[in-house]
Amino acid sequence: MAQVLGLGGIFFKSKDRKALTEWYGKWLNIPVDVQGYVSLIPDSLPNGSYSVWGPFKQDTGYFEPSSKEFMINLIVDDLKQALAQVVEGGAELSGAPEQTEYGRYGWFIDPDGNKVELWQPSGIIPGQS
């Protein structure tokens, strides 16, 4: 059975992402990268993975088909199995899985209508977590 290994990120809509990230940088000393995201690498996460705090533009379509203002990303040890498990549990897949330089991604809509992104980082081989 596939399992979640950590929180890959919290993504949310912002009216002014530049101003918001600057505010968090100033008042909470959060290190923001050039793309406007914060990458945190706790020791407890698998190699090649990290957690992201990421404001998106207010008009982003990335969270669709969910109407929610946010999306979470969960790090998994086996994307294919994890997607099969959530479908068995009644979730609806949202788009086809994708391969990137960072690993494999897949999306589903949970029973409350939240879009969830699952991420299997490149360095994780299913069955070896």
CB count, 10 Å around CB of 1? Answer: 8
Identify whether 48 is part of a domain: yes
Q: Which domain holds residue 31?
A: 4-121
Beta carbons within 10 angstroms of residue 107's beta carbon = 23
In a domain, 129, yes or no: no
pLDDT of 31 reads 73
- For the chain, the domain total comes to 1
How do residues 87-113 score in pLDDT, each as one tens digit?
Answer: 999 999 999 999 999 999 999 999 889
What CATH number does residue 51 fall under?
3.10.180.10
Residue 126 lies in a domain: no
Instruction: Look at residue 128 and tell me if it is in a domain.
Output: no
In this structure, what token pair is assigned to residue 32? 């923001």
Looking at the domain assignment, is residue 25 inside a domain? yes
Instruction: Report percent pLDDT > 90 for the chain.
Output: 47
Distance CA 124, CA 75 (A): 10
Is the pLDDT confidence value at 129 over 60? no
CA atoms of 38 and 53, how far apart (whole Å): 5
Task: Please give the Cα distance from 118 to 83 (Å, whole number).
Answer: 8
Is 127 contained in some domain? Answer: no
pLDDT at 17: 83
What's the pLDDT band for 58 if we cut at 50, 70, 90? very high
Report if residue 116 sits inside a domain: yes
> What distance lies between CA 6 and its chain's CA centroid?
10
Query: Residue 58 falls within a domain, yes or no?
Result: yes
Question: Mean pLDDT, the chain, as a whole number?
Answer: 86
pLDDT in tens, 16-40: 888 888 777 787 677 777 676 666 6
